[in-house]
Amino acid sequence: MTAAFSPGGAPAGPMLQVRDLHVQIATGRGTVRAVDGVSFEVPRGEALGLVGESGSGKSMTLRSILGVLPPTASVTSGQIILDGRDLVPLKQTDLNRIRGPKMAMIFQEPMSALNPVMRVGAQIAEGPMLHQGLSRAKAAERALDLMRRVGIPHPERRMRSYPHEFSGGMRQRVMIAIALACEPEVILCDEPTTALDVTIQDQILRLLARLCRESGVSLLFVTHDLPVVAQICQQVAVMYGGRLAEYGPVQDVLHDPRHPYTLGLVRSAPDFDNVREALVPIPGSPPSLISPPDGCRFHPRCKFAEEDCQVVEPPMKPLPGGRATACLHYERTIESLEAERAGQLDPVDLQVAAERPDEAAPAAGSAP
Amino acid sequence: MSITAGAGDQFAPTGGALVELAPRPADRGVQARRATWYKNPALMAGLIITGIVLIAAIIAPLITFYNPITQNLTDALQGPSAAHWLGTDQFGRDTWTRLVYGARLDLRIAFIAVLFPFVLGTVLGAIAAYFGGWFDLVIMRVVDVVVAFPFFVLLIALVFVLGPGARSIYIAITLVGWVSYARIVRGEILVAKRQEYVLAAQSAGLSNTRIMGRHLLPNVISQAIIYGMSDIVQDILAIVTLGYLGLGIPPPAAEWGSMINGGQNFLSTHWELTTFPGLAVILVGLGLSLIGDGLADILRPGQ
């Protein structure tokens, strides 16, 4: 089924491929199926955005790719294929040869992800010394070069500084330098700009985009921020309740959603070109992943839901244009969009608002 | 409806020139730290007191005029005088000389004795906290057992079994003392290992040993060092106590505890024989405690 929405044209296969991944977390209240059958791929040299609200399983997906799941969580089935090699069965020591030289991670909080008592130059040089066997002097040279590439002013002096002496944006540049240090082929980003203010966020995103273009590195970009995905990614995968809801080229998916959840996400985000009176929230709240609803996970909140949605687990249905959706009635999304574009208020929206006045407050944890 | 089309166009990923931020005044934090450490009164007082005692111990032959061990019975039990500043003991040995040589012995044993439990406790505590599981369980139960005994009771029993001498003191202090370091370091690492920089280090393919040694320990070791300063005081007290009880360094070596013990019989006539070794213990304890306080102020994270 992964072949169905492969974008095609990648000569040597995708850089990173996740196939039918299941991650479970053991808790006191039961087993949480945090990731439940997710498949996607990151083509070489491209950026895939993985979006979804908190608890949709995107961070767990990322951590299972790196093999740094918390002790209570584990990959129960599925494959994570990096450059033709399945990472799931690998031992920690084998993974340690891949983490760094093949894939690297950029974290959300650059302050807490940097060691507070280590000079930043040493933190950048650590990977090259360990993975590429560079001497201390050579590694320091590499660190200096990387700090220049990520745009840290006065790198010779700043190398000897500690993380607390940097501003938030500069710290994130240090994180990027650390991620790039061993020349990885994939960089995984966990909401790398969420902790930054908007101007710095834009600088960091431009930097990431430029570095990826220059070095041909692939990106897996986890975020809940739709404009960020639109800015940096070519492909987007929307996650809901531990599953994929929709997949496809980013502009198509965000302008022309084929899944009611994506539509809800897009409508609940502010739009400055076309200011609406009020944002349209998605009613209800995200599903419990201990006992998820039968059928489509989104059906209790879906205004288009029909009876079969409560029973049938929707498969990932391939659509033209390299897209796919996990919705049985995705045509209704198109109808709703066309109605809105024709200037009419969506009759279903009005109906929903009338039926559930108590849930008018934005319950969905979507976007900013 | 173009919620993100506009955004995509505005923030074109092709990106232009990077906006350079104005350079911040570099190394302000480090400079501030360097500027303040000698302004800490507790630390400075402690360093001066301990420094004087240490220097006296090192240059002992230069500031004393007698042999600390050779008996000279004709001069026994003299009071303070120009020849014998603090008088002599019942064997005619100069008290000032024995006090200074006693500092040599007691301080040397104390400084060495604090290292073994520090290293052992730190390593075991770090491994227990980092890996958890059965190793953590076993180590912490052993710690509980050792802690259940009063420090001095266990120490005296161990030295009694092992026999007198410096080696027994090292072994006994290590076996009794490591538990505090293990508890401190374990607690600190349990907190520190949840920090994102540990996850970042794992994601960068660093081995567990390296993450522990290079990333975790430097972040938590200051607490163990601060405790170590007060632990030295306790070790000196322990060595002196053992000497007083006749279990420590065997006579005739100059040692504060055995000096206090030896002077005890002459307390009514020659108070200086017990008082000055006692004062020496207090002085060193004060100096080291002040250093510990000062270090705690400086090393405590977030200050």
Residue that is last in its domain, among A183, A201, A235: A183
pLDDT, tens digit, for every residue of A120-156? Answer: 999 999 999 999 999 999 999 999 999 999 999 999 9
- Please give the tally of structural domains in chain A: 2
Is any Cβ of chain A less than 8 angstroms from the Cβ of B17? no
Q: Determine whether the interchain pair B20/A109 forms a contact, defined as Cβ–Cβ distance below 8 Å.
A: no
DSSP string, B85-125: TT-B-TT--BHHHHHHHHHHHHHHHHHHHHHHHHHHHHHHH
Compute chain B's Rg from CA coordinates.
27
Inter-chain CB proximity A203 and B19 less than 8 Å? yes
Structure tokens at B227: 């405790």
The domain spans of chain B are 40-299
Mutate to test the interface with A, among B1, B130, B195, B210 (most CBs of A within 10 A): B1
Say whether pTM exceeds 0.80.
no
- Is A11 within a domain? no
Measured in degrees and rounded to the nearest 5, phi and psi for residue A238 equal -100, 125
A157-212: pLDDT as tens digits: 999 999 999 998 899 999 999 999 999 999 999 988 888 888 888 999 999 889 88
* Residue that is written with structure tokens 């709703």 in the block: A336
* Domain range enclosing A292: 260-359
Asked if the structure places residue A200 within a domain, the reply is no
Which amino acid appears at position B274 of this protein?
Answer: T
Q: Which residues of A touch B4 (CB under 8 A)?
A: 226-227, 229-230, 251, 254-255, 266, 269
Last residue of a domain, one of A121, A148, A183: A183
B200 at A interface, C-beta within 8 A: yes
Nearest to B15 among A109, A206, A229 (CB): A206
Say if A124 falls within a structural domain: yes
Closest residue, chain B, to A97 (C-alpha)? B205
**DSSP for residue A323:** E
Q: Which of A273, A280, A366 to mutate to probe the B interface, most B CBs <10 Å?
A: A273
CATH of domain B40-299: 1.10.3720.10
Q: Is B221 a residue whose pLDDT tops 50?
A: yes
What is the per-residue pLDDT across A259-270, written as a single tens digit (0 to 9) for each?
Answer: 999 988 888 877
**Chain B residues with beta carbon closer than 8 angstroms to that of A340:** 1
Which residues in chain A have Cβ-Cβ distances shorter than 8 Å to B17? none
User: Do residues A177 and A264 both lie within one domain?
Assistant: no
| Cβ-Cβ contacts under 8 Å, B7 against chain A | 226-227, 230-231
Residue ending a domain, choose from A160, A183, A206: A183
- Taking each helix axis from N to C end, the angle separating B151-162 and B166-192, rounded to the nearest 10 degrees, works out to 140
Q: Does A147 touch chain B (CB under 8 A)?
A: no
Say if A113 falls within a structural domain: yes
pLDDT in tens, A239-261: 999 999 999 999 999 888 999 99
Confidence band of A276 (pLDDT split at 50, 70, 90)? low
Please state, in angstroms and rounded to a whole number, the distance separating the CA atoms of residues B235 and B233.
Answer: 5
